[in-house]
Amino acid sequence: MIEPIQDFYAVIPAGGIGSRLWPLSRADAPKFLHDLTGSGHSLLRDTWDRLEPLAGPDRIAVVTGRAHRAAVEAELPGIDDLNVFLESEPRESAAAIGLAAAILHRRDPEVIIGSFSADHVIRGTQVFEWAVQQAVQVAREGYICTIGIPPTEPSVGFGYIRKAGELVVDGAPEAALVERFVEKPDLETAKEYVADRSYLWNAGMFIAKASVLLGELAANEPELYAGLSELAEAWDDRERRGPAVDRIWPKLKKIAIDYAVAEPAAERGRLAVIPGHFDWDDVGDFASLTKLITHGRKNDLAVLGPNARVLSDAASGILVSQTNRVISLVGVQDIVVVDTPDALLVTTVEHAQRVKGVVESLKLTGQGDVL
Amino acid sequence: MIEPIQDFYAVIPAGGIGSRLWPLSRADAPKFLHDLTGSGHSLLRDTWDRLEPLAGPDRIAVVTGRAHRAAVEAELPGIDDLNVFLESEPRESAAAIGLAAAILHRRDPEVIIGSFSADHVIRGTQVFEWAVQQAVQVAREGYICTIGIPPTEPSVGFGYIRKAGELVVDGAPEAALVERFVEKPDLETAKEYVADRSYLWNAGMFIAKASVLLGELAANEPELYAGLSELAEAWDDRERRGPAVDRIWPKLKKIAIDYAVAEPAAERGRLAVIPGHFDWDDVGDFASLTKLITHGRKNDLAVLGPNARVLSDAASGILVSQTNRVISLVGVQDIVVVDTPDALLVTTVEHAQRVKGVVESLKLTGQGDVL
């Protein structure tokens, strides 16, 4: 057991629905509320459990939509009401993480925050903790520090971070500066990145003094910064908070924190990275979910659903069962079957990325009742 | 419009469940009760409608299980109660057709019966009628007459009939003698049959004087004949019928009419055939159902189900929807998806024959609730 880091606060943005996991993920049951690993807990809860030893139970904040408040509080019975930051609507990651930074900075100007997605899967607790501990050391030096994952394959589904030279920080022997962020590459480029060994996957983790993060926001997105500051000033006054959110939040710029904070910081040599030698996956689609559950064994059929009644014969891929129906899969390879009470998806691992298009089509054809 | 044939009685054995169409076909919803063509009617009703001009509404008998009585009468509101012959349990086609022959023969010793499966699909009414009219002429001459389908492809799913020489019968210019019946062949043999042109598909249609058919049964299966005669003698006495069925029916030999009647008759030169130049399919599995609905167009997705809510993208094959769920098929070729309230099947056209194995497995694993 480790001791919580004194000046550290963990922030969990719990926002994205996970459209490419439809019809498992829904507007009212987003990805972070699902148990995708068979752990018996939601991804959100797994995230909390992973952060609690590092931050302590009273110093973990969740930024989520008003609609998910009850579900989040049910998943995290230990959460302090003061640490649930509710958005009136989704405004992307810069607003979500910036809001947490602004509120926590008002409460403690010296606080170091670490932001970790609510719906990623990580295996290897101690290695994760060691990476965060190092990142906090780097953050204390005034850097924004990310944790990058050494790629195990040429994935085209993730962004990459290119390391520059080493960064000498006490207690952070693996620290390096970041040269730049790279968008999702094509396969050839991804292969080069993997061979190069100076590229890491961008896992969307950012650790920084709240003041430093807000400083970057102020420099790069002054209007967003102003809105967040105004919100934070009203936040801990219960009477003023709601009206302030209603007035300010919907006008905030929608921008990813990568663009609003991380990339500009990298350009100025203020972004550092710690390599995270743990298993990490953003479980972005059914292909990655299949791989996660089968551990990459090609001929396995992954079954997700505690009450699944499955009869399979020469079938591989993934079956998600949310009903108590008998499901028979015969002679289908690398299949994706997601069986829910009001919607059924049948596709293949190869076409997993196209599910997002299904969601778009359902919107366009007025079938939003199943989204 | 044609006039009904005076001495003709149509018999519809409505027995088989259609296991290879599970979970569409069920013990309590067998294949013949389904609308598989999108005609708006069940196959049974289509069969009735096809036979009514030939026999008249009062001269069509249905042999079915006691369990299906209500469903059959609902499908066929015009049927005379006297023409519904109820089995206490399935005993195969020789018993079913033999029972009808024995009962109708007692009512009219000169009657000619024609037996037509309740769950086949036929397109081309006039050509069908012309084939039956010829077959009745042949039957009047004391032959058992079948209607064989000129093969349009080397199917390995049907039995074949080999024609011998022509048979000169007035009013039946296409009549021929049958040399022999052939079981389902392998593909090479089937190709030879198609090239040979003296082979026809066995469509399970038999037209004969009831007396002739019973004579064959008496010669080949004397115990079965004796049981059926005893049953027929008691049949039209309402008080004796039920007890007689309970006592005699379960002991009758299970044998197909092909073996009990048609093959022995062919050996003795007493089986004739009329070629049926209409589209015919026994719709034995989802491959044949797919072909039927798509008319063989390879890239089509056949959708069966009046309330289907389908969103497909680069999908072909067949979707059967018995629920009102949204079903999305993405990038799956030659797929078979059958969505029912309590069971879901996902397979491919190629593996359609394996569905019967699923049904066996469900029985063996105690999941008979969905059969």
Q: What is the pLDDT along chain A (371 residues), one digit of tens a residue?
A: 789 999 999 999 999 889 999 999 999 999 999 999 888 899 999 999 999 999 999 999 999 999 999 999 999 999 999 999 999 999 999 999 999 999 999 999 999 999 999 999 999 999 999 999 999 999 999 999 999 999 999 998 899 999 998 999 999 999 999 999 998 999 999 999 999 999 999 999 999 999 999 999 999 999 999 999 999 999 999 999 999 999 999 999 999 999 999 999 999 999 999 999 999 999 999 999 999 998 878 889 999 988 889 999 999 999 999 998 999 999 999 999 999 999 999 999 999 999 999 999 999 988 888 88
Q: Could you report the per-residue pLDDT of B207-250, keeping only the tens digit for each?
A: 999 999 999 999 999 999 999 999 999 999 999 999 999 999 99
Distance CA A272, CA A276 (A): 13
List, in order, residues 6 or more apart from B265 with CB less than 8 Å away. Answer: B144, B216, B271
Percent helix, strand and coil across chain A, each to the nearest 5? 40, 25, 35
- B-proximal residues of A, 300-339, CB under 8 Å: 309, 311, 313-314, 325-332, 335, 337, 339
pLDDT of B54 higher than 90: yes
pLDDT of B1 higher than 80: no
With an 8 Å Cβ cutoff, is A89 touching chain B?
Answer: no
In chain A, whose CA is at the least distance from the CA of B319? Answer: A346
- Indicate yes or no: CB of A346 within 8 angstroms of CB of B362: no
One-letter amino acid of A25: S
List, in order, residues 6 or more apart from B154 with CB less than 8 Å away. Answer: B187, B190, B191, B193, B194
The confidence score (pLDDT) of residue A144 equals 98
Q: Check residue A29 and report its DSSP letter.
A: B
The confidence score (pLDDT) of residue B105 equals 98
- Indicate yes or no: CB of A325 within 8 angstroms of CB of B346: no
Q: What value does the mean pLDDT take over residues B337-344? A: 96
Domain residues of chain B, as ranges?
8-281, 286-370
**Structure tokens of A142?**
């005034």
The confidence score (pLDDT) of residue A38 equals 83
The confidence score (pLDDT) of residue A117 equals 97
In chain B, whose CA is at the least distance from the CA of A332? Answer: B347
- Indicate yes or no: CB of B332 within 8 angstroms of CB of A354: no
CA A207 to centroid of chain Cα atoms: 14
- Indicate yes or no: CB of A343 within 8 angstroms of CB of B325: yes
Contact criterion met (CB below 8 Å) for A275 and A200: yes
- A-proximal residues of B, 51-80, CB under 8 Å: none
In chain A, whose CA is at the least distance from the CA of B355? Answer: A330
**Structure tokens of B304?**
């069966």
- Please list every residue in chain A whose beta carbon sits closer than 8 Å to the beta carbon of residue B347: 328-332
Task: Please tell me which of the candidates A346, A351, A357 has its beta carbon nearest to residue B346.
Answer: A346
pLDDT of B37 higher than 90: no
With an 8 Å Cβ cutoff, is A350 touching chain B?
Answer: yes
Interface predicted TM-score (ipTM) = 0.86
Distance from CA of A351 to the nearest CA of B (A): 6
- Indicate yes or no: CB of A331 within 8 angstroms of CB of B313: no
Q: What is the dihedral of CA B112, B200, B122, B156, to 10 degrees?
A: 130
Residue A183: phi and psi, rounded to 5, are -65, 170
Interface test with A, best of B328, B360, B362 (most A CBs within 10 A): B328
- Indicate yes or no: CB of A362 within 8 angstroms of CB of B332: no
- Please list every residue in chain B whose beta carbon sits closer than 8 Å to the beta carbon of residue A326: 23, 342-344, 362, 367, 370
Contact criterion met (CB below 8 Å) for A12 and A51: yes
- Indicate yes or no: CB of B344 within 8 angstroms of CB of A337: yes
Q: Are strands B279-281 and B121-123 parallel, antiparallel or unpaired?
A: antiparallel
pLDDT of B78 higher than 80: yes
Q: Is A189 helix (H, G, I), strand (E, B) or coil?
A: helix
Please tell me the class of the B8-281 domain: alpha beta
Distance from CA of A342 to the nearest CA of B (A): 5
One-letter amino acid of A94: A
pLDDT of B157 higher than 90: no
Q: Which residue has the tokens 């249609």?
A: B205
The confidence score (pLDDT) of residue B367 equals 87
